[in-house]
Amino acid sequence: MSRRVLVTGAARGIGRAIAVAFAEAGDRVAVHYGSRRKEAQTTLESLPGRGHALIQADLSGPSGAATLVEEVVQGLGGVEVVVNNAAVNLPHPLIDTPFEEWVGVWRRTLDVNVLGAAHVCHLAARHMIEHGVRGRIVNVGSRGAYKGEPDHPAYGASKAALHSMGQSLAVALAPYGIGVASVAPGFVETERVADRLTDQVRAQSPFKRVATPTEIASAVRYLASPEAEWASGTVLDLNGASYLR
């Protein structure tokens, strides 16, 4: 049965692969983007099937999240799956970053990566509850929440918060039949981190490579499936044994 799916940050990379995975399963997808309209349009045009939507919203503030969920509900007629993938990841090593810049990076990162996702979760979950939808929420976290991000500490902290929020919501929303889970990828072969994918980085995994966006998308699609209800609360490591906990 076709479902209505919101994927935030779907202009490229992991988000694009997730949008494609759901569309290939016959779902209708809302492709969200912040500023990369041209790339988001490419994502939209790559989706098989019909009835998809392209929606711009700035998730750094609550009004952007409210606009996004409202437009998804209007455009698709509702929402049954939410994938929180939108994120910022700005370098700011403590030793080299002036304090004012440090403050700005932390604020921007938490506003988008944590509060943006939290606001989308609230609004989408309330819609699901009001309409009796046994929905799914999947958060795209990171290995960095556990391994540490010395040059991107706000990013690592934000992903740890995202994992924790997902587990809290898994408990809160289970009585309504809504499952919440997270994935924690290591490095993935995407445009955003292409300059960081050195031989040393690939050697972190005994497989001597990094993940493909499709591998992450496959895991997300499973966690969002009706069969994955018992995986609610999970944080699924997807790092090729590059970091074990």
Q: Are 113 and 87 in contact (CB under 8 A)?
A: yes
Catalytic residue among 33, 159, 232, 242: 159
d(CA 159, CA 155): 6
Catalytic residue among 33, 60, 146, 155: 155
243 burial type by CB count under 10 A (0-12 exposed, 13-18 middle, 19+ buried) = middle
**Phi, psi of 215, deg, nearest 5:** -65, -40
d(CA 220, CA 211): 14
Question: Is 208 assigned a catalytic role?
Answer: no
Question: Is 146 assigned a catalytic role?
Answer: no
Catalytic residue among 60, 142, 232, 242: 142
Looking at the DSSP bridge assignments, the partners of residue 140 are 183
Question: Is 168 assigned a catalytic role?
Answer: no
What residue has token string 């046994």?
A: 134
What residue has token string 């399963």?
A: 25
User: Catalytic positions, please?
Assistant: 142, 155, 159
